Amino acid sequence: MLSLVIVAGLLAFASGKPCKTQTSNIELHMSLNKNLLRSLETQEGLPNPSVHLALRLSNFHNLAKESEHLNKLKNDLHNDIQSSLSNSQSVVGLLSLYTLALKSSCYDLNTITFTAGERSETLLTHLKKQMEQEKEHIAFSHRPLTNFYQYSLGVIALCVSGIRVNHHVSNTLIKAVEHEQVNDTDTCAMAGMALQCVKDAGSHVHNAAELDTALSKIKQKLLASRRNDGHIGNEFSTGFAVQALLAMGSPVAECAASMEAIRTDARNNKYHNAMAISQVLPALQQKSYLTVKSKECLNEDDTLVLEPIDPVVVLPSQTKVTVTVEVVTSSGAAALYSVEVPKGSSLLEALELLKIKNVGFTFDKESSLWGPFLSVVNGEQARQSDRRYWHLSSDGTALGEGIIDFKIDGAQKITLKNTIY
């Protein structure tokens, strides 16, 4: 703790900022870091490579817990990716996050292999092949099999691992930026980091001018999405946007308002999903996914300890609110249902209550790094392979969170609409 205060003091002295502000910022970063560490124990499903990456990029560590988590990734996540590869699925995003997580722990990537068909090949060879497939798919249908966010993650993972990214692969991303196919803030940020990494590696020499044009376009887009309150895009994209701006060489001062907006959100408990914390914490500590490239894992801090916390039992509220659920299928047919739920329930809890009422409403979900993703409603699946999903909105406004995080705080109409993207 003493060293923490000394570091904070020195930082404050160097930047001319009041010492109190710096200390409270560092305390906030530590508390987010502890929440991430706690999530390792409570998280259901697969170990999360994005959480691991953020823990490893942090200034503070609990090395024993991080190494235990690394082992879980190497077993459970590895097996999950292996079975997707055996089924010829495109898992470029997950494969990339796994690569970044391993690399952030300075793990020798050449020792990690997967088997497809009869052959066993390294993780990086599989990633390169998946990127080739994505590139071919884009050439043929103008879209990746997954999305440009995952395509960019693939470029980042190869590039920070010291692999020369195939010129055609990076060129495809440059063209996508040029043709306005990279638009939402998260994807712009990811593409910015990817192309910056390619630029820094010096491997894209023949199209240097096009690369620079794409990078400035991305930077302009990010800055144009900056709101008066400092957010870039929304609360959940600001972290990546800051990471990207820092990676692209913006001075920290240029990102100060956005970092403050993230800290305000964190103090207001906006980031209760571990995935959200994992995307903002590196930005607050002035790191980006590109920091992984130079990570050496030497003389790391090992002071992060989790104090036991008293379990908080949250009793369901006595106040009930009525939720109307509207289902709009792909044919446009609409059905209305209604259910009473305790105020403060999650949308998932509300849907579960509605399902057990036996009024004809059913749903199913798939797990993802962000938690449960609503995939089937009344027997109709919104398939990602058909570019469809169940879009969520409340009283006409799109939800900013998924079914587990969105809380019902009053009577409202929730619409689940099978939508094309």
150 touches ligand B12 by CB under 6 A: yes
| Secondary structure of residue 93 in the 3-state scheme | helix
Instruction: Tally the C-alpha atoms within 13 A of residue 75's C-alpha that lie toward its C-beta.
Output: 6
421 touches ligand B12 by CB under 6 A: yes
93 touches ligand B12 by CB under 6 A: yes
Single out the residue of 204, 195, 208, 301 nearest to residue 248, CA to CA: 195
Q: Give the largest CA-CA distance in the chain.
A: 67
Residue with smaller CB distance to ligand B12, 59 or 368: 368
Residue with smaller CB distance to ligand B12, 188 or 304: 188
Residue with smaller CB distance to ligand B12, 26 or 194: 194
**Cα–Cα distance between 34 and 69 in angstroms, integer?**
14
Smallest separation (angstroms) from ligand B12 to the CB of 351 = 11
| Phi, psi angle pair for 59, to nearest 5° | -80, -20
Of 14-22, 258-266, 281-289, 396-404: span binding ligand B12 (CB under 6 A): 396-404
**Cα–Cα distance between 216 and 383 in angstroms, integer?**
35
Which helix or strand (DSSP H or E) is residue 79 part of? helix 78-86
97 touches ligand B12 by CB under 6 A: yes
Q: Are 330 and 418 in contact (CB under 8 A)?
A: yes
279 touches ligand B12 by CB under 6 A: yes
The residues, ordered by sequence, that sit 6+ positions from 364 with a Cβ below 8 Å of its Cβ are 375, 376
Smallest separation (angstroms) from ligand B12 to the CB of 112 = 17
384 touches ligand B12 by CB under 6 A: yes
The answer to whether the annotation marks 279 as part of a ligand binding site is yes
Site for ligand B12 in 210-249 (CB under 6 A): 234, 236-237, 240
The answer to whether the annotation marks 186 as part of a ligand binding site is yes
Q: Where are the beta strands (DSSP E) in 176-247?
A: none
**337: which strand partners?**
325
Q: Which residues are annotated as a binding site for cyanocob(III)alamin?
A: 146-150, 186, 234, 279, 390-392, 399
Footprint of ligand B12 (CB under 6 A):
93-94, 97, 146-147, 149-150, 184, 186-187, 234, 236-237, 240, 273, 276, 279, 368-374, 384, 389-392, 398-403, 405, 421
